[in-house]
Structure 1
Amino acid sequence: MYIDTHAHIFRANESAAKVVRYVPNYDASAKEYLANLKAFNFSYGVLIQPSFLGVDNSYLLNALENDNLRGVVVINPNNMNDLMHEKVCGLRLNLIGKDKPDFNDYKDVLAYLKESKKHIELHKELDKLLLVIEDLAKYDVKIMIDHLARPSKDTFKLLDEFSNFKDLDIYFKVSGFYRLDDDLAFSKDVFDKLKDIFSIKRFVYGSDWPHTNYENLINYEKAFNDFCFVAGEHKDIILKDNAKELFFI
């Protein structure tokens, strides 16, 4: 039972966030995504709210009518309705290019995440990500890190600082390699470094379909094959067992 823990769906030219880095001019539907899952023998997929749709999770939530899909949403901290959906398994903070959040504003949210065993997902550049994790440490919640923590070759050494977080309930998505200096060998170095710090059970796979901003360089098949190279002998445990509890499967 393969599980893909990171994909996006959206309609062309739609955005709901106040500030956007990118708005695709094409549709990426749940039907197309499910076809990819079937073609590559994946049993389940997890839809991640894209940054350009802000807190309007309606398109994602509608897709969760399919039993093979789960969701991770983006919310305002004063409105947890979408987060409480039975097939939503986490909250995402899209922090690329943004200031570190004040988690005093998220106290009720973080208490709910802990009680419900849902997780908080962080998308942030490595040098600033570490500061966010330090702030979250006291809340005792599950933390999911997108795209192997987004290091660059210049910040690679900062991965050593994850040794300070070994006691946290922290996980990593083995995904988005083309976002890591567009160098697959470097991505493998990043994975190997994190694997030396954390148990292999702390890693899950994400296709990052439909690979926004990189559509001409990557597709579902290449993303999967690249993962197999990066994960090596650990491929099966990452694809199968690691994600079940985290994503309510």
Structure 2
Amino acid sequence: MNDVAVRAERVSLSLDKKKILHQIDLELGAGEIVGLLGPNGSGKSTLLKSIYRVMKPDAGWIYLEGEDVYGLSAKECAQRMAVVRQESSVDFDFRVDEVVWMGRSPHKKLFEPDGAEDRHICEEALRQVGMLDYAKRSFFTLSGGEKQRVMIARALAQQAKVLVLDEPTNHLDVRYQLQIMDLVQELGIPTLAALHDLNIAAAYCDRLLFLHEGEIVASGAPEQILTPALIRDVFGVEAEVTTHPVTGKKHVYFFSGAQKAATTGREVAVLG
């Protein structure tokens, strides 16, 4: 496998004459988990869509394992890269196991039936996300979090070499947020994930990329770049960044400007 799983060079994209991405450069190395962070509208999902070929950039290049991603066929791309989007994109009422079986299609010929190995792969994928007991349920009857876990199982069944996740823990309760991120970490394959939760990102990602107004404004390991000043600049909120006593990872505590002022006032009173 190429040492760089995904590379974007000087990627720019506009929608309705508005610049959404500005000269984006990024690399996703072998075995790395890289988190994309930023406020709503910062360009995270647009960047991911450019990488998995839904929105072609106006300028720049995107490479998947050293090859131009737009030069690959859809099947070749799907064999190499699996995608889990924010929304559960299933248009018809399939059973849960049927949705996961769809992940095997890039590896099969047209109308080729599922074999024993395919079924084993799909069952294992459902087991990994805690949804094996739901295999015969209608996908439409599931909760948002359950649907998300099924879509992750479909990506696992795809057995791609690169994972692209757009808010993979969206709609999940805390238990399953941690379970999914534990699983991503255990897989050990290059993963590019847009995330909202800074503490999840700090706990699981090798590197963080912060997007603001379509530009990467900070990039590096969480312990190097995750600071109150960066969080204030990117998200417009006050925060304290400490080291978690159990995990040893960076941990963020948020508070409002009013809370900060009140705390500062108390500190002044004590000092006086």
TM-score range, shorter chain: 0.3 to 0.5
TM-score by length of 1: 0.40
Q: Relative CO higher for 1 or 2, CA cutoff 8 Å, sep ≥ 6?
A: 2
Structure of greater Rg: 2
More strand by share: 2
